[in-house]
Amino acid sequence: TLLGLFIAYNQWRKAQNAVRARDAARRELLNQQAADAFDNLSREAITLAENLRSRNWSHATETAAVVRRTISKADGAWSKRLEATESDQLEVAIKTLAEIADSIPLTMEQDIAADQVQQMVIRCGYICDVAARLAGRLQYEREEGRTNGGPTS
């Protein structure tokens, strides 16, 4: 019976280790997906800034819609992985994007002042910075998990 208890304990320990490894792999995958989503958002914000700078209003409008969809999806999908201050920054970025989108002229014939375009580009930079910071932190956590006994170490 002592041998049976020893075998049962070893099986239980192996099962617990397998569960921990599975959970660590899942966290790593989720962090990578979140990092990729925020990295993509950062690139889209840069594209929006380029369209604004070139005063290509139709492309800027389309890109703003893509960025809005991406930022909303990222907020909905990954908000639980964010710290409180990061969630606040993302919320500000969402509001900033709405302000940018509302400021884009509806037709190519309409124009806005150069300083207003510059302010819109700066705001895109803020969105890009927030997204890049989030992607970087999530990527760092993923890498840190690997070096501290995560599933791939």
The pLDDT of 50-59, averaged and rounded, is 95
What is the distance between the terminal CA atoms of the chain, rounded to a whole angstrom? Answer: 36
Alpha helices in 54-113 (DSSP H): 57-78, 84-103
Can you list the alpha helix ranges (DSSP code H) found in 1-153?
Answer: 2-53, 57-78, 84-103, 114-147
* More confidently predicted of 141 and 89: 89
Which is nearest to 81 in space by CA: 134, 132, 128, 24? 134
Q: Determine the Cα angle at 86 with ends 85 and 91, to 5°.
A: 100
Q: In the chain, how long is the greatest CA-to-CA distance? A: 88
d(CA 145, CA 153): 9
Query: Mind listing the pLDDT tens digit for each residue in 9-19?
Result: 999 999 999 99
Gap between the Cα atoms of 33 and 29, Å rounded: 6
Predicted local distance difference test score (pLDDT) of residue 110: 84
Give the pLDDT of residue 146.
58
Instruction: Give residue 16's pLDDT.
Output: 93
Identify the residue with better confidence: 153 or 142: 142
Please give the average per-residue pLDDT across 75-97, as a whole number: 94
Residues in the chain: 153
